[in-house]
Amino acid sequence: MGNPSSDGDDYVEVVLSLVERIPWGRATTYGDLAEVVRERTGTGGPRQVGRVLSMHGGGVPWWRVVRADGRLPAHNEDAARQNHLAEGTAMLGPERVDLRTAGWDPHDSDSPNRP
């Protein structure tokens, strides 16, 4: 049943809950995340995911969400880099996550993937 409080809050909750599930040392993209969120809430896109993280990302590992090409978030690249370094995330360059290895698909949030 729906929580009639507000759809906007629901959207935010869905995004944050998914971001919290991204495993240590892995990463996913705004686009893939938005795709799953859209299936659950019926709305939103990559930019909306970015908006949510910019406003409410303080309590979740936001640095594990990167752009489609693996580049770090466009406003906190420095902090993101430090976190990935600490997590030992597979990187291609100093500013790019290796999604081929560290990529995590929010669709398969139940099982491990991409060894």
Partner DNA sequence: ACCTTGACCTTGG
Partner DNA sequence: CCCAAGGCCAAGG
Which residues are paired to 66 by β-bridges? 29
C-alpha torsion sign, points 114, 83, 29, 68: negative
Which one, 83 or 109, has the nearer CB to DNA?
Answer: 83
> Which range in 39-47, 82-90, 98-106, 107-115 contacts DNA by CB under 7 A?
39-47
Place of tokens 């580049």: 71
Binding pattern for the stretch 55-84 against DNA, x by CB under 7 A and - elsewhere: --x----xx-x-xxx---xxxx--------
Under rule CB under 7 A, residue 94 binds DNA: no
The amino acid occupying position 108 is D
Contact status: 31 vs DNA (CB under 7 A): yes
Q: Which tokens belong to 91?
A: 């990187």
